[in-house]
Each structure stands twice: as structure tokens, then as C-alpha cells.
């Protein structure tokens, strides 16, 4: 079930072996681990592994070209950015897939922006980072269907996520200009990955905290919110009493005052 | 009834010969019957002769009254279906994301009202939007009264009654907001609980008494319900009654104008025109509320879910009228609480409570304060233009700024996310605004009022600048001023002027400290002032021109 368990074993060995490796050495290392790994598995898996390795190669090239300036040549981290060893494919797929990486401007937090890579390239980068050290993998499709127990998902969301993201997923403020973003229309894979990797100020929700099934339920709830508009009419951004109060003062009282002005003007 | 009278009668000729139609006869008979038993005709005549002056801002109180009626009507509907109990039930209604969850009957029945009772959601939304409008219109109405000085003798008492209504309305709002027992309102109650517990010695006892044990307990919703639908509405209705009676006794104020004096009221008699208009106006208000309620969500408890002490949502705020209290708590800098032996003294809670209570007291007692400063014991029935009472207007502006700062602080997190700021920065800015804002607003408003008065004085004396430059035979250039009509001038020149009070020895030849204080405040109030144009000045100005 878990693709995680394959990549860890493979990359743990490699990580130890290549602290100073050049790109070529790395490739050899990769092939070697690939070979060792293949010995343990069936021919079919060996084939997939090779495909993953090829993907990882391409990912490495992309990494060197786009990410190494901040994250270091071996993703070991620099003053500008943290290490990516051990963050796993999920982190990369999330960060690059939502456009957060490569980071553009320095600010309180790296923000989502138009994605700069094709799907293929994102997967390649993810595959490459996954080879560095064990880490959470890109989630299985079966958790991302948006189907599940919405009621359970909603409750989990309220207890685990609403304090930052707001009950309606409208987002909220954190300290020093950081914020938890609006969760409407976020790709299910990215929701899942956000939970397992805990980007920036978001905590990690590992599988012991919230089981994969429950993660799927949370995704189901967020999907439900996306697909069902508020039963009461306009939702005013789902921000609660503040937007309601402003609406009451500006539009409701405004309309009423306009009526009073009109009524008294008529009679004069 | 009038309707019946005017409709062409179906029986035709026979009835025409019989004189007044059947409907008319019935009306007469019924009116007579009632009058013989209640002697109401005198009252109706008296009321009907009352005059109501026309200015849009004079209708704000009516808006409050009508939204209250809407609240009563929609609230009655809600009571049929709401269950004020915290007994746990499993929700089996039709809102999927809450299905099967354990929650209080209060929450479950509110969800049923929203999703499973025909028209229930609309009624809930009407009730809630009307409540927001109710308090907002009271607020605006109070501001109108304040800035026009309509609280002066003989209306000080009615100001206090109105103030009590404002506080009751906030109480009604807060208790209502807490009834559904959803996450948002539960967190609101949690804050109230914290505030109560912050009070030294008695706090914990009061909290246990109120909640019937440890928060949240099982009692609070039922108790709030009693307050919300019985005690508070009864008090509101009683206070509205007193408010209206005093309004009729004192009559309405009016703005200065030719023929409008301190001893009369110019306007439309209540019967029949005003009554008809008022009736129509009620339906307009109802219509506006219904329109908003049917198109805009309010208090989506289905998002909040049932109350549970552990979760809390980002952007948890009370309804707008409690916002200033929430803001006061948010603005407290860290580290105000300290240990006193085994006790924690929660200054971070006590100071905001104190500030809020003081603020409300100042609002309630301002009329008496102003009367004391001016030493004015006369009755006033002419509403001031705000500029003609610069210090009062300045104080009002300062108060509004203070309130607005507290209010804004309640949404500091949303201000931060929506304007891409750091929430700490927003809080610090509002802290500064809370302290310096009122001073700046007061000084600026005072100067602006005086400048406007100066301009009025110029215009009253010399007319409007027409922009037409004329060269006189002697070569001199002058700008032609358009003279004012008497009607316009009246508005500009008729206002009260107060002078600083002098300290005078009392009967025993002593000058008390109170006297001195009063004199110095009075000097602060009225030192800078513009006198209204006098008749002699006017005449002098006129002879200058012609």
C-alpha cells in the first residue's frame, strides 16, 4: 500500500554512501541500489524501479537547474533554504505542484503561484528527492477520490485544521504575516500531501495522528464544501460575523438609510 | 375597513338608499363599543394631533422599532421548533456533513430549523439579520441624538432609557447568538466564562452559578433561553413603551428654520399621513430584511458544528455589536496578569472590563455632564447642527474613534490576512489608534467645526461667493456675493452660544473645588467659539453692501 516503504530502503543506503558525490557518481550509486533492490523483487517491479530511476535522473537535472541554488547541490540545504533530504516525494509534489517552489520572493511564507513545471517534471523532481532519504510518498489515488465519510471528515477538520484554516476552510492569520491559506478548490493530492508533510507553519499529521482513511474523509469534506454552495445564499467569504457585520452596516443599514432619505425628500 | 367602504357594493341600489354601508355601520358600532368601554377616543385624538417633523435621520429610531417587530415575529416562529436543551442527541437530519454526530438538542433542533422545517432557514436568517439591523439602527439613532444635542433637557431621561435599550439589545443579541450551541457561540460563551472567572474572589462562584457547574455544563442554553425569550424581551418592550411615552410627552426635536421655535413642532400630524407612511415604512424595512435574509447566509452553524471545548476556528468573532468587547480583550499587551500569593490577578481581563464599563457609563451619563458644564437649565427643542456645538461634536468623534478602534481590533486577524499584514503589526497599530486616535479625531473635529462656523458666519453676513468678479468704475475689483434668502439665513444664525462659566462664590462666600473644576472644564469647552451673527452685525453688513 505504501510506496514510502520502498523508497526509504533504497535511499537510506545511498544517502550514506554519497556525501560528496558528483552527478555521475550519484548515477552509479542509483543504478547500484536499483540493482540491489531489483534482486529482492520480481522482474516486473524491477522494471518499475528502473522507470523510477530514469525519472529520478531527469528530476536531478531539473533540481540542479532550478533548485540547487537555494537548496544546495545535494539538497543538503543552505543558508537560504532548508535541506530536502528526507522531506519525501510528497513535499516536492506539494511545493512544486502548487507553485510554491521554486520560491520567488522572500516574504513571510512561500506562497502558491502559477505552477512552473509540467506534471511530468514535478513527478521527476519528486522522484529525485525521494531517492535522497525516506520520506512521505505521493499518496495513493484511492485516497484522493473525494469520496468518504463527510461527517467524520468534517469533525476531524474542525478539531485538527479549523484553528488555522477556519471552519469553512476560508483561511486565517498566523503570527508575523504568515497565514493558513483558503482551502477551496485545492487539489486532493495537495491536501493529502500538506497533511503528511506539514509545509512551513503547518504541523505534520502523520498516519498515526490521522489515518490515511481519515485523511480521505477530510478530503471528502473539503470536496463537499467546494461542490455545495452555502444553503443560506451568498456566503460572504465564509468569514463569519465580521463579514456579516460589515454587510449589515454597509448594505442593510445603507439601504434603509437610503429609503429614509428618499421618503423624507418626497414630502418636502 | 376603509377598503370595505370604497368597494362598489354588491347588493347595489338597495344599499345605496340605506345610507352608510354595512361596513361603515359596523366600523362605527365597533369604534363606539370600544370607546364606551375604554375612553380611548381621547387618547387617539391626542395622539393623532401629535406632530412628527421630517428629516431622514429622525426615522432611525423607527427603523429600530420595526426591526424589533420583525425580530418578535420571526422569533415566535423559531420558538415553535427550537429545543433549549443541552441533552445529547444523535443528529439524524438531512445535512450530510453532520449526520450521526452527537450534539445537544439545541444544536440539532437549530439544524432541523435550517434544513428540515419549511421556511425555517429563511426565518432564522430573517431573525438574525433583523437583529443585526436592530442594534445597528439603535447605534446610528443614538449617534444622531448625540450629535444634534437632542438629549438635552427635557430629554435626558429618555436618552438614558434609550441607552438601556441599547444595552438590552446587546444582551438580547448575545443570548440569541449563544442559543444554537454551535462551535462559534460556544467559544463566545467560553470567553464570557473566562471574563467572569477573571473577577477576583467572586468570579469562580459566579461562573459556577451561571453555568450550573463547571463550564459548559448542561444548563446554560436553557437559562439563556429564558433570558432571551422572556426576561429580556419583556424589559425591551417595557423600555420601548417608556421611550415612546416620553417621546410623546417631550415631543420631537426639530432643526432650526423659520417658524420653528423652541415652543412648537412643525411637521406632519401623526394621523393620518404619518401613520400611513409609518405603516408603509414598516413593510419597507421588513422587505429589505427579507430580501437580504433570502439571499445572504448568516451564522452558518452547519459549518461551525456542535460545540465541543477542544476545537476553535480561525476567525472566531462575536456578532458585530459585541465586537468592541472582543477587541478590548485582543488589544491588551502581554504580561498584565501577575501573582499575588497563591492568586493570579488577571489585569489582562479586568482592565478591559473596566474600560468597557467606563465607556458605557460615559455614554449613559453624558447629558448630565454637559448640562453641568453649560449650567444650562432651560428646555431645548431645537436640534443643534453638529458644527454649532464644536466641543460636543469633538467628544462624539473621539468616542466614535475609540469604539471603532476596539471594533476593528476584534477583526485584527482578518485585517491581517486581507491586507497582507502581520497580525502583530495590526494589533500594535490599533493599540496606538485606541489611545491617540480619539485625541486626534477630537482636535481635528473641533477645528473643522469652528472653521465651518466661521464659513457660515461669513455666508450669513455677506452671502455666497458667486465667482463673478466685477470691476468698479474706480478700477477696484470685487467679487459679487449672492445674498441669502431669509430662510437660508435663519438656519445659519440661530444657534446657542455658551460662554465659559465663571467661578462664583457660593452662598457662604466659598469657592468649592467642584466649582473650580467645573469652571476649568467649561473654559476648555467654550473658550474657542464662534458667536452667532447678531441682528446689528447683519444690518451693518447690509448697509456696507448696498
A163 touching chain B per CB within 8 A: yes
Residue A50: pLDDT over 70: no
Q: Which of A138, A160, A183 is the last residue of a domain?
A: A138
Q: What pLDDT score does B270 carry?
A: 63
pLDDT, mean of residues B179-184:
92
Q: Per the domain annotation, does A187 fall within a domain?
A: yes
Higher pLDDT among residues B514 and B102, named by residue:
B102
| A159 and A91 co-located in one domain | no
Backbone torsions φ then ψ of B278, nearest 5 degrees: -60, -45
Mean pLDDT of chain A: 79
B295 touching chain A per CB within 8 A: yes
| A102 and A156 co-located in one domain | no
A249 touching chain B per CB within 8 A: yes
Shortest distance between the Cα of A23 and any Cα of chain B, in A, equals 41
Mean pLDDT of chain B: 86
| A196 and A119 co-located in one domain | no
Residue B12: pLDDT over 70: no
Give the model's confidence band at A28: pLDDT under 50 very low, under 70 low, under 90 confident, else very high. Answer: low
Q: Per the domain annotation, does A156 fall within a domain?
A: yes
| Residue A52 structural domain | 27-138
Least confident of A48-52, B247-251, B445-449: A48-52
Task: Report ipTM for this prediction.
Answer: 0.84
**Contacts of B261 by beta carbon, 8 Å cutoff, 6+ apart:** B381, B382
Q: From residue B122, how far is each of B78, B142, B410 by CA, in Å?
A: 11, 30, 28
Q: Beta partners for B468? A: B480
Place of cell 533492490: A37
Question: Alpha-carbon distance B510 to B533, whole Å?
Answer: 37
Q: Which of residues 102-121 of A touch B (CB under 8 A)?
A: 108
Contact B314 A180 (CB under 8 A): yes
Alpha helices (H) in A119-267, listed in sequence order: 119-132, 150-160, 162-165, 188-197, 212-227, 241-247, 253-267
Alpha helices (H) in A6-149, listed in sequence order: 6-17, 23-40, 43-66, 68-71, 88-97, 119-132
| A53 and A118 co-located in one domain | yes
- Select from B125, B184, B270, B417 the residue whose CB has the most chain A CBs within 10 Å, as the one to mutate to test that interface: B417
Q: What pLDDT score does B109 carry?
A: 95
Q: What pLDDT score does B285 carry?
A: 94
| A145 and A246 co-located in one domain | yes
| A49 and A149 co-located in one domain | no
CB A49 within 8 A of CB A37: yes
Q: Per the domain annotation, does A191 fall within a domain?
A: yes
Maximum distance among all Cα pairs of chain A, rounded to whole angstroms: 97
Contact B288 A170 (CB under 8 A): no
- Which residues of chain B neighbour A182 with C-beta distances below 8 Å? none
| A106 and A150 co-located in one domain | no
CB B414 within 8 A of CB A242: yes
Q: What percent of chain B has pLDDT over 90?
A: 47
Q: What pLDDT score does B7 carry?
A: 39
Helix B390-409 / helix B423-462 crossing angle, nearest 10 deg = 160
Q: What pLDDT score does B529 carry?
A: 82
pLDDT, mean of residues B459-477:
86
Cis peptide bond N-terminal to B216, omega within 30? yes
Contact A248 B284 (CB under 8 A): no
Give the model's confidence band at A14: pLDDT under 50 very low, under 70 low, under 90 confident, else very high. Answer: very low
Contact B311 A162 (CB under 8 A): yes
Q: Per the domain annotation, does A150 fall within a domain?
A: yes
Q: What pLDDT score does B121 carry?
A: 95
Residue B80: pLDDT over 90: yes
Q: For B136-173, b where at least 16 C-beta lie within 10 A, e where not — what string? A: bbbbbbbebbbbbbbbbbebbbbbebbbbbbbbbbbbb
Q: What pLDDT score does A3 carry?
A: 40
Q: What pLDDT score does B269 carry?
A: 67
Question: pLDDT tens-digit profile of B242-298?
Answer: 999 898 888 777 777 666 777 666 666 666 677 777 788 899 999 999 999 999 999
Q: What pLDDT score does A18 carry?
A: 47
Q: What pLDDT score does A72 carry?
A: 84
Higher pLDDT among residues B113 and A133, named by residue:
B113
Number of domains in chain A: 2
Give the model's confidence band at A207: pLDDT under 50 very low, under 70 low, under 90 confident, else very high. Answer: confident
Per DSSP bridges, beta strands B343-345 and B338-340 are: antiparallel
Contact A240 B114 (CB under 8 A): no
Question: pLDDT tens-digit profile of B200-235?
Answer: 889 899 999 999 988 888 899 999 999 999 999 999
- Which residues of chain A neighbour B285 with C-beta distances below 8 Å? 256, 259
Least confident of A17-26, A92-101, B82-91, B455-464: A17-26
What CATH number does the domain containing A225 carry?
A: 1.10.760.10
Question: pLDDT tens-digit profile of A243-260?
Answer: 999 999 999 999 999 988
Q: Which of A138, A155, A173 is the last residue of a domain?
A: A138
Q: What pLDDT score does B20 carry?
A: 66
Question: pLDDT tens-digit profile of B105-159?
Answer: 999 999 999 999 999 999 999 999 999 999 999 999 999 999 999 898 889 999 9
Question: pLDDT tens-digit profile of B20-46?
Answer: 678 788 888 888 888 888 877 777 776
Q: Which of A115, A138, A161 is the last residue of a domain?
A: A138
CB A59 within 8 A of CB A126: yes
Extended strands (E) in B493-545: none
| A41 and A134 co-located in one domain | yes
Amino acid at each position: 500500500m505504501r510506496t514510502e516503504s520502498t523508497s526509504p530502503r533504497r535511499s537510506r543506503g545511498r544517502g550514506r554512501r554519497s556525501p560528496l558525490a558528483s552527478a555521475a557518481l550519484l548515477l552509479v550509486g542509483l543504478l547500484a541500489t536499483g540493482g540491489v533492490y531489483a534482486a529482492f523483487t520480481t522482474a516486473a517491479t524491477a522494471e518499475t524501479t528502473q522507470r523510477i530511476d530514469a525519472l529520478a535522473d531527469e528530476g536531478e537535472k531539473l533540481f540542479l537547474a532550478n533548485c540547487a541554488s537555494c537548496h544546495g547541490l545535494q539538497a543538503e540545504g543552505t543558508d537560504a533554504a532548508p535541506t530536502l533530504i528526507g522531506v519525501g516525494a510528497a513535499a516536492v509534489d506539494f511545493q512544486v505542484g502548487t507553485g510554491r517552489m521554486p520560491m520567488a520572493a522572500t516574504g513571510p511564507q512561500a506562497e502558491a503561484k502559477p505552477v512552473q513545471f509540467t506534471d511530468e517534471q514535478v513527478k521527476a523532481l519528486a522522484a529525485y528527492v525521494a531517492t535522497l532519504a525516506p520520506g512521505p510518498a505521493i499518496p495513493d489515488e484511492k485516497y484522493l477520490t473525494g469520496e468518504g465519510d463527510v461527517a467524520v471528515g468534517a469533525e476531524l477538520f474542525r478539531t485538527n485544521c479549523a484553528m488555522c484554516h477556519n471552519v469553512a476552510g476560508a483561511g486565517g492569520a498566523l503570527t508575523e504575516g504568515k497565514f493558513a491559506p483558503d482551502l477551496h478548490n485545492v487539489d486532493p493530492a495537495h491536501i493529502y500531501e500538506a497533511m503528511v508533510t506539514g509545509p512551513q507553519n503547518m504541523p505534520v499529521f502523520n498516519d498515526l495522528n490521522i489515518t490515511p482513511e481519515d485523511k480521505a474523509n477530510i478530503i471528502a469534506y473539503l470536496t463537499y464544501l467546494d461542490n455545495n454552495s452555502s444553503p443560506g445564499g451568498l456566503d460572504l467569504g465564509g468569514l463569519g460575523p465580521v463579514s456579516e457585520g460589515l454587510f449589515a452596516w454597509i448594505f442593510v443599514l445603507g439601504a434603509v438609510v437610503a429609503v429614509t432619505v428618499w421618503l423624507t425628500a418626497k414630502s418636502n | 375597513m376603509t377598503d370595505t367602504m370604497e368597494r362598489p357594493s354588491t347588493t347595489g341600489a338597495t344599499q345605496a338608499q340605506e345610507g352608510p354601508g354595512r361596513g361603515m355601520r359596523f366600523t362605527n358600532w365597533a369604534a363606539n363599543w370600544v370607546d364606551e368601554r375604554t375612553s380611548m377616543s381621547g387618547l387617539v385624538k391626542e395622539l393623532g394631533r401629535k406632530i412628527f417633523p421630517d428629516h431622514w435621520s429622525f426615522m432611525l429610531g423607527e427603523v429600530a422599532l420595526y426591526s424589533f417587530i420583525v425580530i418578535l415575529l420571526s422569533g415566535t416562529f423559531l420558538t415553535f421548533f427550537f429545543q433549549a436543551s443541552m441533552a445529547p442527541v444523535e443528529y439524524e437530519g438531512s445535512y450530510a456533513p453532520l449526520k450521526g454526530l452527537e450534539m445537544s438538542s439545541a444544536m440539532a433542533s437549530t439544524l432541523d430549523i435550517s434544513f428540515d422545517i419549511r421556511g425555517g432557514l429563511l426565518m432564522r436568517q430573517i431573525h438574525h439579520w433583523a437583529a443585526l439591523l436592530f442594534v445597528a439602527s439603535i447605534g446610528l439613532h443614538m449617534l444622531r441624538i448625540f450629535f444634534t444635542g437632542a438629549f438635552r433637557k427635557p430629554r435626558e431621561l429618555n436618552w438614558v432609557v434609550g441607552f438601556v435599550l441599547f444595552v438590552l439589545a446587546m444582551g438580547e443579541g448575545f443570548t440569541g447568538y449563544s442559543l444554537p450551541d454551535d462551535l462559534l457561540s460556544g467559544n463566545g460563551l467560553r470567553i464570557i466564562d473566562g471574563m467572569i472567572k477573571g473577577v477576583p474572589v467572586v468570579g469562580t462562584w459566579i461562573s459556577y452559578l451561571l453555568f450550573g457547574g463547571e463550564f459548559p455544563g448542561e444548563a446554560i442554553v436553557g437559562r439563556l433561553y429564558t433570558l432571551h425569550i422572556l426576561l429580556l424581551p419583556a424589559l425591551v418592550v417595557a423600555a420601548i413603551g417608556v421611550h415612546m411615552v416620553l417621546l410623546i410627552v417631550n415631543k420631537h426635536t426639530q432643526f432650526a428654520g423659520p417658524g420653528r421655535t423652541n415652543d412648537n413642532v412643525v411637521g406632519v400630524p401623526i394621523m393620518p399621513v404619518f401613520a400611513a407612511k409609518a405603516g408603509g415604512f414598516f413593510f419597507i424595512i421588513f422587505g429589505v430584511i427579507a430580501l437580504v435574509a433570502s439571499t445572504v447566509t448568516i451564522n452558518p452553524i452547519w459549518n461551525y458544528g456542535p460545540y465541543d471545548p477542544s476545537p476553535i476556528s480561525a476567525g472566531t468573532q462575536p456578532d458585530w455589536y459585541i465586537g468592541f468587547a472582543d477587541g478590548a480583550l485582543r488589544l491588551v499587551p502581554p504580561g498584565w496578569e501577575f501573582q499575588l500569593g497563591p492568586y493570579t490577578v488577571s489585569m489582562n481581563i479586568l482592565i478591559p472590563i473596566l474600560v468597557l464599563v467606563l465607556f458605557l457609563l460615559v455614554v449613559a451619563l453624558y447629558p448630565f455632564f454637559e448640562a453641568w458644564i453649560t449650567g444650562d437649565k432651560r428646555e431645548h427643542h431645537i436640534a443643534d447642527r453638529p458644527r454649532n456645538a464644536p466641543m460636543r461634536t469633538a467628544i462624539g468623534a473621539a468616542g466614535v474613534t475609540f469604539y471603532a478602534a476596539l471594533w476593528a481590533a476584534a477583526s485584527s486577524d482578518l485585517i491581517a490576512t486581507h491586507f497582507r499584514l502581520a497580525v502583530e503589526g495590526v494589533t500594535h497599530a490599533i493599540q496606538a489608534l485606541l489611545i491617540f486616535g480619539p485625541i486626534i479625531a477630537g482636535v481635528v473635529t473641533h477645528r473643522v467645526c469652528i472653521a465651518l462656523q466661521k464659513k457660515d458666519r461669513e455666508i450669513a453676513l455677506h452671502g455666497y461667493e458667486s465667482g463673478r468678479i466685477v470691476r468698479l468704475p474706480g478700477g477696484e475689483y470685487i467679487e459679487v456675493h449672492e445674498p441669502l434668502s431669509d430662510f437660508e439665513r435663519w438656519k445659519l444664525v440661530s444657534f446657542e452660544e455658551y460662554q465659559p462659566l465663571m467661578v462664583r462664590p457660593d452662598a457662604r462666600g466659598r469657592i468649592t473645588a467642584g466649582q473650580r473644576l467645573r469652571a476649568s472644564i467649561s473654559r476648555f469647552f467654550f473658550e474657542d467659539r464662534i458667536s452667532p451673527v447678531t441682528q446689528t452685525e447683519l444690518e451693518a453688513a447690509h448697509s456696507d453692501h448696498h
